[in-house]
């Protein structure tokens, strides 16, 4: 679902910044399914992780790729299970 207020810019930040455990993709690493055109090569496929297909673009996408990466990286850090081990 894409928000009319925050349409997807297809920058790929949401496929790079967060970890995707079902793909064993660590945070900050480009998803192997992210194409050079910043689209998902398994979009619409049954193999696409639920976390990806249910992600709606929003304010966390910012106004640019750089801003989206900063916001999403900060959110990833704040919600990482490993964060509790560092405190």
Query: Does residue 40 contact residue 34 with C-beta atoms inside 8 Å?
Result: yes
pLDDT at 9 exceeding the cut of 90? no
Q: Which residues contact 39 (CB under 8 A, 6 or more apart)?
A: 10
Where residue 33 falls among pLDDT bands split at 50, 70, 90? very high
The pair of structure tokens assigned to 3 is 């928000």
pLDDT at 82: 67
pLDDT at 84: 52
pTM for the predicted model, two decimal places: 0.82
Domain range summary for the chain, segments of one domain joined by +:
16-78
Among residues 39, 33, 32, which one has the least CA distance to residue 12? 39
Higher-pLDDT residue of 64, 83: 64
């Amino acid at each position: 679902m894409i928000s009319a207020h925050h349409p997807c810019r297809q920058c790929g930040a949401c496929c790079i910044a967060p970890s995707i455990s079902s793909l064993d993709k660590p945070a900050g690493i480009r998803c192997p399914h992210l194409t050079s055109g910043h689209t998902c090569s398994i979009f619409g496929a049954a193999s696409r992780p639920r976390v990806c297909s249910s992600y709606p673009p929003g304010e966390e996408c910012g106004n640019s790729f750089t801003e989206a990466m900063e916001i999403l990286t900060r959110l990833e850090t704040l919600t990482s299970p490993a964060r509790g081990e560092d405190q």
